């Protein structure tokens, strides 16, 4: 069992499916909601094992062994990012006509947000009249990406995210080195992930993460006028590939400043010393709202450079408006 699986065994979605299984009351369709790709994918697979294993996912029996080897006929897993109408047609035919071992057949689709509306409508018909003994375990990054008609036929299970300490334990578990620099990276990435392991792992695996963090802090420290802004932003070389990481780091920096106002100082973030003195409480709260707005702009694929401009000009404005 991986560290991620071990942690997810205490999560609400997992425990709900397990309880249903133990009560002999498995739903015919579950929808696991989380914007954390790793958590969602892992939870979908774990829930499938619970549904299929006679002992609720023991990891020891013949069924579990076959599942672990990817050789269990009654388990179909689709983890593609895009799912077309043709894929759905194939799935429906398979669910009605293909024989299987065991007493149940489970279909996992972990990226329902990647199924377009037409395909979702086709899939809906199967959910309305599900084949006997078939369980669908669906995953989606967000509820708004799923048709309301599908939502109403699923048992919805929300994964609320990991704690920073849990993320740290996953990052360190996957790492062989245990030098100071590695630990420092893991500490920072686990805080910057905001409960999202996929985001934290991306930062952790970026060899320039610590450097980016320091660079961003120095840009924030030197923010004084819009005239200087272009020059400072050019240091960050913001583009589509690194924007989300920078937004996560910026949010972390301001959240840590807010926490230090309340007397809670996180270890391992020395560059921030003294920085929060420049901002009062309302300024920090307003800046955090601004960062969330920029994150939404990024989700809607706005131009990365415009988002960066909006963010830093916004920070300057808030600083100016809230000045004492
Ligand atoms: Zn088992």
CATH of the domain at 62: 3.40.50.300
**Residue 50 Cα, ligand 1 centroid: separation in angstroms?**
8
151 and 215 belong to one structural domain = no
- pLDDT-derived band at 81 (thresholds 50, 70, 90) equals very high
pLDDT of residue 112: 97
User: Could you tell me the pTM of the whole model?
Assistant: 0.85
pLDDT per residue over 236-248, tens digit each? 999 999 999 899 8
**Residue 34 Cα, ligand 1 centroid: separation in angstroms?**
26
145 and 211 belong to one structural domain = no
In sequence order, the β-bridge partners of residue 75 are 106
- Position 26 in a domain: yes
**Residue 70 Cα, ligand 1 centroid: separation in angstroms?**
14
For the ranges 15-19, 73-77, 259-263, the one whose mean pLDDT is highest: 15-19
H/E segment holding residue 13 = helix 12-22
**Residue 113 Cα, ligand 1 centroid: separation in angstroms?**
30
130 and 210 belong to one structural domain = no
**Residue 123 Cα, ligand 1 centroid: separation in angstroms?**
29
CATH of the domain at 282: 1.20.272
What value does the mean pLDDT of the chain take? 91
pLDDT of residue 232: 85
Residue 118: domain span: 3-158
**Residue 135 Cα, ligand 1 centroid: separation in angstroms?**
17
125 and 265 belong to one structural domain = no
H/E segment holding residue 291 = helix 281-299
For the ranges 134-138, 175-179, 241-245, the one whose mean pLDDT is highest: 134-138
Cβ neighbours around 58 below 10 Å, total: 12
Q: How far is CA 263 from CA 256, 283, 284, 286, in A?
A: 10, 17, 15, 20
What 3-state class would DSSP assign to 227?
helix
Number of H helices, E strands in the chain: 15, 5
- Position 180 in a domain: no
Residue 62: both structure tokens together: 């013949």
Cβ neighbours around 75 below 10 Å, total: 24
22 and 148 belong to one structural domain = yes
Q: How many domains does the chain have?
A: 2
**Residue 168 Cα, ligand 1 centroid: separation in angstroms?**
29
**Residue 78 Cα, ligand 1 centroid: separation in angstroms?**
21
**Residue 316 Cα, ligand 1 centroid: separation in angstroms?**
57
pLDDT of residue 132: 83
- Position 27 in a domain: yes
For the ranges 97-101, 147-151, 300-304, which has the lowest average pLDDT? 97-101
């Amino acid at each position: 069992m991986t560290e991620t699986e071990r942690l997810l065994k205490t999560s609400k979605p997992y425990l709900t499916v397990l309880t249903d299984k133990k009560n002999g009351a498995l739903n015919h369709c579950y929808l696991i909601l989380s914007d954390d790709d790793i958590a969602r994918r892992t939870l979908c697979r774990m829930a499938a094992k619970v549904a299929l294993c006679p002992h609720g996912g023991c990891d020891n029996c013949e069924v579990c062994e076959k599942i672990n080897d990817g050789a269990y006929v009654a388990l179909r897993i689709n983890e593609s990012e895009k799912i077309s109408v043709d894929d759905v047609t194939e799935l429906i035919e398979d669910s009605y006509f293909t024989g299987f071992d065991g007493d149940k057949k489970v279909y996992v689709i972990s990226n329902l947000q990647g199924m377009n509306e037409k395909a979702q409508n086709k899939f809906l018909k199967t959910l309305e009249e599900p084949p006997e003994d078939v369980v669908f375990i669906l995953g989606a990054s967000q509820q708004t990406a799923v048709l309301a008609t599908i939502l109403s036929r699923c048992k919805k299970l929300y994964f609320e995210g990991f704690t920073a300490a849990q993320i740290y334990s996953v990052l360190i578990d996957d790492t062989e080195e245990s030098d100071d620099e590695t630990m420092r990276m893991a500490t920072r990435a686990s805080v910057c992930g905001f409960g999202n392991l996929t985001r934290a792992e991306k930062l952790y695996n970026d060899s320039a993460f610590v450097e980016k963090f320091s660079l961003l802090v120095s840009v924030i420290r030197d923010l004084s006028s819009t005239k200087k802004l272009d020059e400072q932003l050019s240091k960050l070389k913001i583009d589509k590939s690194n924007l989300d990481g920078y937004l996560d780091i910026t949010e972390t920096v301001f959240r840590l400043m807010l926490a230090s106002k309340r007397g809670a100082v996180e270890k391992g973030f020395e560059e921030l010393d003294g920085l929060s003195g420049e901002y009062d409480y309302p300024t920090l709260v307003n800046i955090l709202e601004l960062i969330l707005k920029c994150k939404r702009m990024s989700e809607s694929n706005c131009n990365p450079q415009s988002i960066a401009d909006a963010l830093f000009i916004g920070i300057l404005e808030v600083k100016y408006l809230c000045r004492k």
